[in-house]
Structure 1
Amino acid sequence: MSLPDRNNPYSFNAFLDWRENVDYYADDPFAQKVVRTFCGDMAGEVDAAARETSKKASFKWRKLSEALAWPEKRPYMKHYDGHRNRIDRIERPMETQIVEKEVFGEALFSKNTHPWVKLIKMFLMYQNGEYCVSCPLTCTEGLVAVIEPFADTPELKAILNHCKEGVDGEFAIGAQYLSEIQGGSDVPSNLVEAVEEDGVWKLYGTKFFCSAAHADYAMVTAKPKGSEKVGLFVMPSWLPGDKKKERRNSFTIDRIKWKMGTSELPTAELTMNGAVAYQVGPLDRGLANMVGVVLTYSRLTVGLSGASSMIRVWREASKYCEFREAFGVNINFFPMVMGQLADMEKTAKRTLAGAFRLYKEVLDLPGGFLGASKDEDDAMKKKRFMVRELVMLQKICTSWDCPDVVRAAMSMFGGHGVMEDFSALPRLYRDAAVNELWEGPRNVLLTQMHRDLQKAAAWLPPRELVGNILAGRDEGLIKEFQDEIEQIFKHPNLFEMSPETIAVCKQWDSFCHGLYHAYQDQALEMVESQD
């Protein structure tokens, strides 16, 4: 019976009390099992680090991430000071500066921080969305990884130390500036020019998508004067002594872009007019190192970020369905809702398990992504190739799955699901949509993987690669995937405009998604078999 009551006593407080007290790691037995499954002898140390970091990520950093995300706190440009000095200051809210300093203060890239500790901390931090932290962390990781093998000059050594160990307690933030107006993923079409003047490299030209534009250092692609090859350089935002004076390193920040998601992150257009930069690696290997190291780390992290978002939204949707009642029944007892929650749970958990499994594969590569040697045996050569393809598979699969899971979670909240002040779900949904585009959108990576497999077919047939990816799974399932990939590769390419090619493109898209799901499902089984 429901009689009129002008003083409606209904309250969301029971759900809110639960949400305000959730500890991302301590209250997540599945994440703990993932650590025990994949971290080996490091599991105890990783677990302890996770419990400590989770106390910050789940409470203080979560609250700060929610406070800084309001539209009125979006970053904006101040091009000049009161005395008409060009400063190009990016104004950001105090909440952003606090959480950024504390997160980077975790020294994730220090020689004293084990990779598994770094990974679990990033997983917990990413449950808060972008909040002007996730992208800069990812970019800094890639910057450190690509500079480290080539840090043979005082400048590069200083930059590396600033990012890894900090200077006077301040840890540097990295960025990566590749895209130009004529092409985002088409890096070989870059036109930014690098000119060596009196023994110093200087950059001239414009970059069109520069995320983390507030960073201290940026990896920048540019073509040396007169060359068609793409070189790789690291560009300081300020030269020594100039940061306090707000005097940029001979470049201007022309404007900040207005994005649908990751709105707390300043993404800008830049013009360089003789910006001092330092060469990283051989000039004719700049594109290879940028894609092979920097973008590979970024793509790897997209998978972790997607897992983080999905775990959080599934957890909150599940609890809300336990709390919310409709037509006299808690809505988690409706069969349709129960089925949808089960699907969300499986996707979230297999994504997390798959991310940790793939990271273990990366750690097992001698020397990491730059460690290949000419005398490496065939087995390791094939392993290295497989891991690179898995990184791209994870990126396209996870970044596609994540918006679906967040959207499904939002639907569990009904109209409240789209209310910006009711939960973080709308913000996480927008971030998920943007993450699909970073580091190569789906079509680019699908095409790249197809070309990779064609080039490698002489020494690693696609059928064998599929068998390696799914090793240990049911032989019938493996054969299905192997037969399908052989059928796909009977078609010569993905570029001939014909109905047959369009059909093969669709089949390749579906095949890649299914193949990586099978890899994730195996990782999930590995976790669930733990005591």
Structure 2
Amino acid sequence: MTEEHTKGSEYALDQPGSNPYSFDTFLEQRDGFDYYNDDEFLRDLVAHYAGDEAARIHETASVLSHKVRTRWRALSEQAARPEYHPRLLHYDAYNHRIDRVVRSLETETLEREIFAEALFSNRVTPWEMFVKRFVINQLGEFGVVCPMTCTEGLIGILELLGDPSHSELARILRHCKEGIDGEFGVGAQFMTEIQGGSDLPANRVEAVADGAAYRIYGKKFFTSVAHADYAVLTARVKGTDHIGVFVVPSWLPGDKARERRNGFEIQRLKWKMGTTELPTGEIEYKGALAYPVGPLHRGLANAVGIVLTLSRLSIGIASAAMMTRAAREARMYAEFRTVFGRRIVDYPLSARELNWLDDMAKRTTAGAFAVFDLYLRCGGRQALAARTDMSLAERKRQWQLRELILLQKVCAAGQTVDVVRKAMSIFGGHGVMEDFSALPRLLRDAAVNELWEGPKNLLLTQVYRDLQRAASWYDTKEFIADVLAGADASLTADLGERFAQLLAEPVLGDVDEGSITAAAAWEQCCTELFAAYQQLALQSVTAVRVSP
């Protein structure tokens, strides 16, 4: 009998029509990989940044990682099937308007078990939270990780600006942060309206005073986490020019079991290309009770500076995690699959692409760790609150953090789409098969993730305006040198000069040939700056690994 043996496959040529090809070797390697324990680079990053916490994080992350790669991965893959996508039930059998968001048991179970990890509680340190979220985000399950992100934003603004003597706000914070009777509240962020999109100053939803509280009227057009218990909402305060921030419960105390909404209706759920397990709707408020948070005249600044900044940090984690999984599984498949007598990995063109995937994943992950480290060194969530007592050095460091978070959102979120798409190409036709791997789902979700919390052009515009505004107290060349401390001097000088020149160009001027050229140069400079920052972060970790 003549046989041809290849890794993971076996052909018996003397049996007509027989082709017992098997993917089992690949599946065993892919499904047996432990997202934390088997990732040496991730463990190096934890050791580098977490310091004395590293040993304890290693222990707790190991336990969580096992759940992620087994039970939670199976739940997320099942929940992704079209027949399990959320739907809206407007009325019960007795003609009561309930607007029940019906989600699959898999999604609800996954959310409940992940939220039970209490990642935002006082008993979990920031670095432990970060590492665990990185591992969880490798699921690519935005039906759960988006609610996590929004809940952190709700917790952040309540901790920084909520009135601790307000009993209901205190209860909401406790419910979302520490849980009540083992149940954790889920938060959302409802800011977008049909006429404005990311243009929050154009909000028309109105807040009308009702004693110490407010009543909300109007329609929010893009409301992800429509099933949430509470929403951070922006609204124009009646009789003023102020856009305030409010927390709106989905149900008033005692009403959740009866499915009686707090003065609003969910009109429909959106049909999206990605994040399809996440219910995103249109909500019309008809007098919902709401609690103001922070000074109403600073609502926009607080919504952007606290809530959206935390979300943008989370997008950095998600981007790095999705790249990591995509690059890893593409390499596993390339090492398994034989084409024309050679493994895919043994072809130079494929090897080159796989090396690029690995580099992008590691560079993005190292950059995400570095940005989060700066966030903690600036004071964590306290760094997002407006302060007037900072020294110039503190103010500059906080400014670096602000711009790096924006640049990470622009670069990492956009590059994730390219990374996942190229990883899919390694699989050939199997790359687009929904039940063969998670990559098609990751690609769709990455495309949506790129648009969350401000699309690329909006954030590049914000960086431009920020640097112009700060120039009087923080020279642009100094800013570049500080961000790239330790980089090659010629690179720093070149970028500093180009940034300074572009701040005098019509990047935000009228549309003509000159402004379009300047805009293209601005995007290129921003991309190069953040890539250099990521590379420095990567080198700082790899240097530790190779040092004696």
TM-score, structure 2 as length reference: 0.95
Structure 1 residue 43, shift from structure 2 partner = 1.5
Q: Does 1:70 align with 2:75?
A: no
Find out whether 1:176 has 2:194 as its counterpart: no
- The answer as to 2:53 corresponding to 1:39 is no
Find out whether 1:85 has 2:134 as its counterpart: no
2:7 aligns with none
2:384 pairs with 356, 362, 370, which one?
Answer: 370
Q: Residues 131 and 489 of structure 1: is their aligned pair in 2 closer, same or farther, counting only changes over 3 Å?
A: closer
Matched, 1:19 2:33: no
Check conservation: 2:75, 2:110, Cα contact below 8 A.
yes
Q: Which residue of 1 aligns with 2:454?
A: 440
Distance in 1 between residues matched to 2:367 and 2:212, nearest whole Å: 47
Q: Distance in 2 between matches of 1:297 and 1:406?
A: 24
**Is the contact between residue 91 and residue 99 of structure 2 (CA under 8 Å) also seen in structure 1?**
yes
Amino acid at match of 2:332: K
1:59-458 equivalences in 2 (<5 Å): 59-152=70-163, 153-366=166-379, 368-458=382-472
- TM-score when normalising by structure 1: 0.98
Q: Deviations over 1:360-403 (max 9, x none)?
A: 10001136233453231111101111100000000000011101
Deviations 1:252-278 (A, max 9, x none): 000000100000000000000000010
Tell me how far apart the structure 2 counterparts of residues 131 and 368 of structure 1 sit (CA, whole Å). 27
| In structure 2, C-alpha distance between the alignment counterparts of 1:338 and 1:396, rounded to whole Å | 28
Contact 1:68 1:131 in 2 (8 A): no
2:98 aligns to what SS in structure 1?
Answer: strand
Q: Which amino acid aligns with 1:27?
A: D
Amino acid paired to 2:344: I
- The 1-side partners of 2:59 and 2:162 are apart by 33
Q: How many Å separate the matches in 2 of 1:230 and 1:337?
A: 52
2:73 and 2:538 map into 1 onto residues whose CA distance is 28
Cα deviation for residue 178 of structure 1 reads 0.5
Task: For 1:522 and 1:20, locate their aligned partners in 2 and report how far apart those are by CA, in whole Å.
Answer: 32
The answer to whether the Cα contact below 8 Å between 2:506 and 2:518 also exists between their aligned partners in 1 is no
Shift of 1:42: 1.6
Counterpart of 2:188 in 1: which secondary structure?
Answer: strand
The DSSP-based 3-state class of the residue aligned with 1:172 is coil
Letter in 2 for 1:185: S
Equivalent position to 2:63, from 52, 58, 68? 52
Alpha-carbon shift at residue 131 of structure 1 (Å): 4.3
Q: Which amino acid aligns with 2:49?
A: F
Deviations 1:337-360 (A, max 9, x none): 110000000000011111011001
Displacement of 1:463 in angstroms is: 1.1
Q: Which amino acid aligns with 2:21?
A: Y
Q: Is the 8 A contact 1:293 1:369 kept in 2?
A: no
| 1: CA distance, partners of 2:60 / 2:377 | 22
Aligned residues of 1:252 and 1:270 also touching (Cα < 8 A):
yes
Shift of 1:227: 1.4
Instruction: Please say which of residues 72-81 and 457-466 is displaced more in the overlay.
Output: 457-466
SS at structure 1 position matched to 2:90: strand
* SS across alignment from 1:128: coil
Partner SS for 2:181: coil
Letter in 2 for 1:143: L
Which SS does the other structure have where 2:195 is aligned? Answer: coil
* Maintained 8 Å contact 2:263/2:287: yes
List alignment gaps of at least 5 residues for structure 1. Answer: none
1:334 Cα deviation after fit: 0.3
> Displacement of 1:111 after TM fit?
1.1
The total of aligned residue pairs comes to 531
- Cα deviation for residue 477 of structure 1 reads 1.0
Task: State the distance in 1 between where 2:503 and 2:36 align.
Answer: 44
Q: Give the distance between the partners of 1:310 and 1:286, measured in 2 at CA.
A: 35
C-alpha distance in 2 between matches for 1:20 and 1:492: 52
Q: Which residue number in structure 2 is paired with residue 527 of structure 1?
A: 541
| Secondary structure in structure 2 of the residue aligned to 1:447 | helix
Q: What secondary structure does 2:285 align onto?
A: strand
Identical positions, percent: 50
> What amino acid is aligned across from residue 128 of structure 2 in structure 1?
V
Q: Which residue number corresponds to residue 499 of structure 2?
A: 485
- After TM superposition, give the deviation of residue 493 of structure 1 in Å: 4.5
- Over 3 Å counting, the alpha-carbon distance change for 1:337 and 1:301 in structure 2 is same
Distance 1:217 1:16, change over 3 A: same
* C-alpha contact 1:69 1:131 (8 A) present in aligned 2: no
Contact between 1:65 and 1:131, CA under 8 Å: does it hold in 2? no
Q: How far, CA to CA, are the matches of 1:373 and 1:182 in structure 2?
A: 33
One-letter amino acid matched to 1:306: S
Give the distance between the partners of 1:6 and 1:314, measured in 2 at CA.
Answer: 35
Residue 196 of structure 1 aligns to a residue whose secondary structure is strand
CA contact (8 A) 2:142 2:445 kept: no
2:8 equivalent in structure 1: none
Q: What is the alpha-carbon distance in structure 2 between the residues aligned to residue 508 and residue 519 of structure 1?
A: 17
**Cα distance in 2 for residues equivalent to 1:298 and 1:306:** 12
Name the CA distance, whole Å, in 2 between partners of 1:369 and 1:71: 41
Displacement of 1:108: 0.8
SS in structure 1 opposite 2:138?
helix
SS at match of 1:530: helix
Check whether the contact 1:229–1:284 (CA below 8 A) recurs between aligned residues.
yes
Where does the alignment leave 5 or more consecutive residues of structure 2 unmatched? 5-10
Contact 2:236–2:244, Cα closer than 8 Å, also in 1: yes
Could you give the per-residue CA deviations for residues 490-520 of structure 1, whole angstroms, max 9, x where no partner exists? Answer: 2155132221111010011111111101000
Query: 2: CA distance between counterparts of 1:228 and 1:271?
Result: 22
8 Å Cα contact 2:324/2:361 also seen in 1: yes
Counterpart secondary structure, 1:294: helix
Contact 2:220/2:283 (8 A) holds in 1:
yes
Whether the 8 Å contact between 1:231 and 1:286 is mirrored in structure 2 is: yes
**Alignment partner of 2:174: what SS?**
helix
Deviation per CA, 1:43-74: give whole Å up to 9, x if none. Answer: 12222221111011111100000001101111
AA aligned opposite 1:443: N
- Between the aligned partners of 2:543 and 2:160, the Cα distance in structure 1 is 39
